[in-house]
Amino acid sequence: MTFIDLLILGSVIGSNNLAVALSLGAMGQAARRFRVMLVFGIFEFVMPLLGIGLGAATARVVGLHTNVIGAVLLIALGLLTVLSGIRNRRQDEKLAKQITQWSGLVFLALGLSIDNVVVGFSLGLDRAEPLAVATTIACFSVLFTWIGMRLGHESRRGWEQISKIGAGILLVGFGAANGMGWI
């Protein structure tokens, strides 16, 4: 992966954290932003590494079809993200209120970073550099979490749905570009 590819990947994956952070900031959780950034950053670093390891192991078994499998996984994840942005937001607001405790935050971060296992898996099929990918994703996720919590706190508007749909569209585009060999 090139440096530009890593920047695009970090932006796309970090956008999920932006969506949730906007909601958390709008719900008055901005004072706990450093706690949120810490937990999100740890999960956003570890989960892609897990996915890359699984993807690399699978690549040895699957062989030549790894680009297609990786692209399909990324596109499917993007479509699921778009659908989650369209669904009823009441459940998300209830979840945002429950994460003021460490245990709730850990479960939220785990849920958010599951997609990083899929992305890591997809990239592991292509033999990506694990530490560069994990560090890039974690840095963008922490940055976007901080931005989202600040903007959410300042605006107190319903940007979460728009951010989720945008994140899903970016994932679909990244998966398509990956499948076509552009990335």
Contact by Cβ (8 Å): 112, 20: yes
Q: How far apart are CA 8 and CA 137, in angstroms?
A: 10
Asked whether the predicted pLDDT for residue 54 surpasses 90, the reply is no
Q: What pLDDT shows up at residue 43?
A: 93
Q: What is the DSSP letter of 172?
A: H
- Range from 26-30, 72-76, 82-86 that averages highest in pLDDT: 26-30
For helices 33-62 and 102-125, the axis angle rounded to 10 degrees is: 30
**Residues above pLDDT 90, as percent of the chain:** 15
Closest to 23 measured CA to CA, from 164, 137, 138: 164
Name the percent of the chain lying above pLDDT 70. 73
Query: Would the pLDDT of 122 be above 80?
Result: no
Domain boundaries, the chain: 3-179
Neighbour-count burial of 154, counting CB atoms closer than 10 A to its CB (0-12 exposed, 13-18 middle, 19+ buried): exposed
Q: How confident is the model at residue 81 (pLDDT cuts 50, 70, 90)?
A: low
Mean pLDDT value across residues 124-135: 80
The confidence score (pLDDT) of residue 31 equals 83
Residue 154's SS3 state is helix
Average pLDDT over the chain, rounded to an integer: 78
Q: Residue 157: pLDDT above 70?
A: no
Lowest mean pLDDT segment, chosen from 2-6, 27-31, 36-40, 89-93: 89-93
- Coil, helix or strand at residue 106: helix
What mean pLDDT do residues 22-49 have? 87
Secondary structure class of 99 (helix, strand, coil): coil
- Residue matched to tokens 């709008």: 26
CA quadruple 175, 176, 180, 181: dihedral positive or negative?
A: negative
